[in-house]
Amino acid sequence: MTTAYDPFGVPGQRRPPQDPLLSLPDHPSGEWATAARRPVPQAQSQPRVGHPRPARRDSGPYLASPTGGAPFPVVAEPAEVRRRGRLAPALLALVLLAGGGFMAWRLDRADSSFDERLAASQQRESELAERADRLEKQLAGVFDPEAISSSVLPSVFRVRAGNFTGTAFSIGDEAGKGKSNLLTNYHVVESVWAAGGKKVFLERGKDEMSATIVKVSASKDLAVLRADREIAGLDPAPKTVKPGQQVVVVGAPLGLEDTVTTGVVSAYRPDDSDGPSIQFDAPINPGNSGGPVVNSADEVIGLATAKARDAEGIGLAIPIKTACDTFKIC
């Protein structure tokens, strides 16, 4: 046998070389396998099945065994489990908070959408109301000869001046209490005025009254009559007429009182030699002279004065502005 020496020079038994792989604890040919084949002393025999192997007391906390044997070690709770236990409530709270925020957002969006729909509905109602107002105004401006005639006729009279017949109408309200001013053509009352007379008669049905010629303008073919009775006066049109405007002419053609004809303004002629004139196409005849030409707003635009001979649909009227400026009565 070969003898080996340790560092201190004491001879000892030489150890055989060992393969590192054979020396692993779980290898069947290693030291652990060799040790397993060695006989186990009686005192160190394995514990009986069913009893836990007592742990070392210096390795951690222990709990008393219920059978009176060796105490059981207390297994510590892993840190990962503790962290998860603390995180679970926080995650639940976050989920609930996020859900509540989402629902609040949805409710806010729903409220906003409802407000937008309500605003759109209100705007639509406003637009419909405006449209209805416009239609109502347009309908109010529709030419209605019947309504115009009903409004105008009570202010219009047949004039009988000597042997001549024409028409006159009440205008304005400046004649004074209990009196009325009426306009007509000068040629209607010319025979009475030229003879030095001033009295004429106003007739409408069974209603008859006398009137006085107070002013005349032969050059403009205008005259003012005054009646000792209050008669509702017509309103003069404030604007200059335009071609195409619809008109109603009221008078007593051939002595036929309360006659109404309709037409349109054919032209406005401001530069005629005898002064501005309005041309219209409503039929007129002798006896219409001095009668009012009225627009769709029941306003007088002029006095019917003449018609073209040997022609149809050509009538002429003196603008109401000319009469009001001449006599200052309206």
- How far is 193 from 161, CA to CA, in rounded Å? 9
**Identified catalytic residue from 149, 180, 221, 298:** 221
Residue 85 has φ and ψ, to the nearest 5°, of -65, -35
224, β-bridge pairs: 183, 215
The single residue of 155, 187, 266, 277 carrying the catalytic annotation is 187
Q: What is the pLDDT along the chain (330 residues), one digit of tens a residue?
A: 445 545 555 555 555 555 555 555 554 554 444 544 555 555 554 545 555 555 454 445 555 555 555 555 555 556 665 666 666 777 777 788 887 777 888 777 776 777 788 888 888 888 888 878 767 766 666 789 999 999 999 999 999 999 999 999 999 887 888 999 999 999 999 999 999 999 999 999 999 999 999 999 999 999 999 999 999 999 999 999 999 999 999 999 999 999 999 999 999 999 988 899 999 999 999 999 999 999 999 999 999 999 998 888 999 999 999 999 999 998
Q: What is the DSSP letter of 202?
A: E
pTM: 0.60
- Complete DSSP assignment for 18-64: --TTTTSTTSTTSHHHHHHHSPPPGGGPPPPTTSPPPPPGGGS-EE-
Q: Is 187 a catalytic residue?
A: yes
Do residues 155 and 231 touch, judged by C-beta distance below 8 A? yes
- For residue 298, indicate whether it is catalytic: no
In this structure, which topology does domain 146-327 adopt according to CATH? Answer: Thrombin, subunit H (2.40.10)
| Residue among 149, 155, 266, 289 flagged as catalytic | 289
Which residue, 155, 152, 213, 209, is CA-closest to 188?
Answer: 213
Long-range contact pairs involving 133-141 (C-beta distance under 8 Å, separation at least 24): 141/296, 141/297
Q: Is 289 a catalytic residue?
A: yes
